[in-house]
Structure 1
Amino acid sequence: MDRFITHQGDISLWQIDKKGIASLAKFVVEENFMHHEGKMLSSCESSEEYHHVLQEEQAFYEYSSIIVAKNTQGDIIGAIRIACWDKNPHTIPLVKLFGDHLIDLEQLRHDHKHLWHIGRFAINRNYTDNGRLFKLLMLYAISPIFRYNRGVLLAEIDQKLLRTLGALHIQATPLSKGISYLGSTTIPITIYKEGLDEFMLKYAYLAFDIQFRETQRELPEWVKIKPRTQNYPNGYCQDNQGYRTFANVKPINKRC
C-alpha cells in the first residue's frame, strides 16, 4: 500500500509500494519520450524502455524509496527514486550505462562511506508551478543522505537537468560528455553530500517541519524538528522533539 507523506496545495506526495512500480515505469517512460521526442509513445507497455525500467526498479525496490506526486484525480504527475548502494548487490545504473572505468565504487565507499543513486525523475509536461514540485521531489529524495555525515550520490541526467541543478546550487560534477539514452544525451554525475547542503538549507522549509537555529554561527548548524504534521519517508525526522544536523554548512536566506 502506498504511504501518504503530505499534501502540498493541489497535489499529494506518496512513497509507493512495489505494486506501484508498473505505474511509475509507464509515467517515467512516457514523460521522457514526450520531453525528448515531442510526441506520445504509441504503446508504452510493449516498449523496450518500459520493460527495462520496470525490471530494474523491481530489482532495486528493497534498497530504494520511490516518491511520487499525484493530482486530485490520483494521477501521477511527478516521480523520483533514491536507492542506497551500501549493500545493494545489483550493478549500479551508471556502471551499466558507462562501464566501470569512470568511477571506483570501492574507493567512493571508503572515502564517503555511504553510496546513493538517484533516478526516475520526471514531471508531467503540463504541470507548471515555477519549480516547486521539482524542489519537493528532490528534498524528499535526498533526505536520507542527511542522516549521515558523509555520502556521495551518483546519477545519469540530461544537459537541461544538469543546468537546473546548478541554478539550484546543487554541485554536480560531470564524469564524461555523456551518451545517447532514452531520447537524449545522458551525462553521468557525482554529487557529494556537501554539494547538497546549500540546496537543503535554502529549500528545506518547503517540505520539512523544521527550523534552523541561525543565531549559532559556529558549525555544525542544528535543525529543530517541530511537532510532526507530516508522514516522512526514509525514517527522516523520526524524533519529534529531537535534533538533526546538516554538517559543515552555514545558514543562508531560505526563500523560494
Structure 2
Amino acid sequence: MENSNFSQLGINNLHDLAKFVVLENFIHHSQYFSPQQLKEEVDSVYKEELKFNNSKIFISRDSKNNINGSIRVLKWNSKDVLPIEKLFEIRPSLLTNNVDTEIWHIGRFAIKQFSDKAGFGVFKTLMTFAINEVCKNENSIALAECDVKLLRILRLLGIEAKALADPIYYLGSETIPVLLSYKGLKSFLDKNYYLLPQNFMSLHHSVVFKEIA
C-alpha cells in the first residue's frame, strides 16, 4: 500500500475534521444527501467538537495531504455532554459504580474508501493511537457510538463491546452506543503496540508508516 502519514490534528483544523467525518459517513451509508443537509451536519459536528478542550484527534493523510482517516479520543470531565448522552440519553456516570473510574469517549472515526488491506491498516493504527490513551490507567472504560459494521469489526478484533441501547439513525447509518472494557482494549493494544511510533508522545508532527499489515 502507499505510505500513510499519521499526525495529531490541531484545533484550527476542526472544521476539516467535521467535513471529512460527515461526508464519509454519508458516502458510505446514504444513497442521497443534499448539500444543505451536508452543511448542517458539518456545522453541528464542528460546534460540538469545539466544546471539547481535552480531546486528541489523530488523522491519516494521503500523498496529496488529504485526510483519509480520523479518530478522536477524550477523557470525560463529568461536565461535557457526550454524544452518547445527547443521542441516547445515557448518563456516563451511571455506567460505573466506581467514582474513580476514568470515562473516555472515542468518536469521529471515519475511513475513506480504498482497498481493504489499506483501509484495515489505517483502521488498526488509528484505533491503536486512541486506545493507547485510554489504557494509560487500568481503571478506565471507553464509550463510543458505532454502526453495525464497525461493531462487528471491533468484536472480531477481540475488543469487548457491550451494546447499551437500541440503534438509532445518525450520520447516515444505524448507530449503536457501546461500552468498551479496559480488558478488551488492553488486549488489542498489546497485539498492536508496534504501530505506535517511538515519538508518539509528541505526535504533533507527522509520522510516516510503510506497509502496514
Give RMSD over aligned pairs: 2.4
Which string of whole-angstrom CA distances, capped at 9 and with x for unpartnered residues, describes residues 156-215 of structure 1?
A: 11111110001100000001221111121111100111121221111211x125xxxxxx
2-side partners of 1:59 and 1:22: how far apart? 13
Determine if the alignment matches structure 1 residue 49 to structure 2 residue 41: yes
**Aligned structure 1 segments of 4 or more residues deviating by more than 4 angstroms:** none
Q: Does the Cα contact within 8 Å between 1:178 and 1:186 map onto a contact in 2? A: yes
Match of 2:207 in 1: none
Residue of structure 1 equivalent to 2:134: 145
Equivalent of 1:92 in 78, 82, 92: 82
The structure with the larger Rg is 1
Pair 176,149 (structure 1): closer, same or farther in 2 beyond 3 Å:
same
SS state at 1:80 partner: strand
Q: Give distance in 2, aligned partners of 1:107 and 1:131.
A: 30
* SS across alignment from 2:98: helix
Asked whether 1:74 is paired with 2:80, we answer: no
Residues 13 and 69, structure 1, Cα contact 8 Å, conserved in 2? yes
Q: Which residue identity lines up with residue 132 of structure 1 in the other structure?
A: G
Offset at 1:107?
5.6
Q: Which has the higher contact order (CA 8 A, sep 6+)?
A: 2
Q: Residue 30 of structure 1 contacts residue 44 of structure 1 at CA under 8 Å; is this kept in 2? A: no
* Alignment check: 8 A CA contact 1:77 1:127 kept: no
Deviation of 1:104 (Å)? 5.3
Partner amino acid for 1:53?
Answer: V
Looking at structure 1, the residues matched to 115 and 65 of structure 2 have their Cα atoms a distance apart, in angstroms, of: 14
Contact persistence 1:44–1:50 (CA under 8 A): no
Query: Whole-Å Cα distance in 2 between the matches of residues 89 and 202 of structure 1?
Result: 34
Aligned partner of 1:25 among 11, 18, 23: 18
**Is this contact kept in 1: 2:111–2:119, CA < 8 A?**
no
Match of 1:5 in 2: none
Whether the 8 Å contact between 1:63 and 1:88 is mirrored in structure 2 is no
Once residues 7 and 50 of structure 2 are traced to their aligned partners in structure 1, the CA distance between those partners, rounded to angstroms, is: 17
CA distance in 1, matches of 2:119, 2:14: 27
**C-alpha contact 1:79 1:123 (8 A) present in aligned 2:** yes
Q: Cα deviation per residue 1:218-241 (whole Å; 9 max; x = unaligned)? A: xxxxxxxxxx4x34358xxxxxxx
Aligned partners of 1:63 and 1:83 also within 8 Å: yes
Identity percentage over the alignment?
A: 34
User: Which residue pairs with 1:219 in the alignment?
Assistant: none
**Structure 1 residue 127: deviation in Å?**
5.0
3-state SS in 2 of match to 1:125: coil
Aligned length in residues: 204
Contact 2:23 2:38 in 1 (8 A): no
Q: State the partner residue of 1:132.
A: 121
Using the TM superposition, give the Cα deviation of residue 146 of structure 1 relative to its aligned residue in structure 2, in angstroms: 1.8
Q: Quick check: 2:58–2:70 contact (8 Å CA) kept in 1?
A: yes
State the AA in 1 paired with 2:48: E
Q: Where does the alignment leave 5 or more consecutive residues of structure 1 unmatched?
A: 1-7, 210-227, 235-255
Structure 2 SS opposite 1:136 = helix
Q: How does 1:228-247 map to 2 (within 5 A)?
A: 228=198, 230-232=199-201
Unaligned ranges ≥5, structure 2? 204-212
Higher fraction of helix: 2
- In the alignment, structure 1 residue 123 sits paired with structure 2 residue 111: yes
Once residues 146 and 200 of structure 2 are traced to their aligned partners in structure 1, the CA distance between those partners, rounded to angstroms, is 29
- Distance in 1 (alpha carbons) for counterparts of 2:67 and 2:8: 12
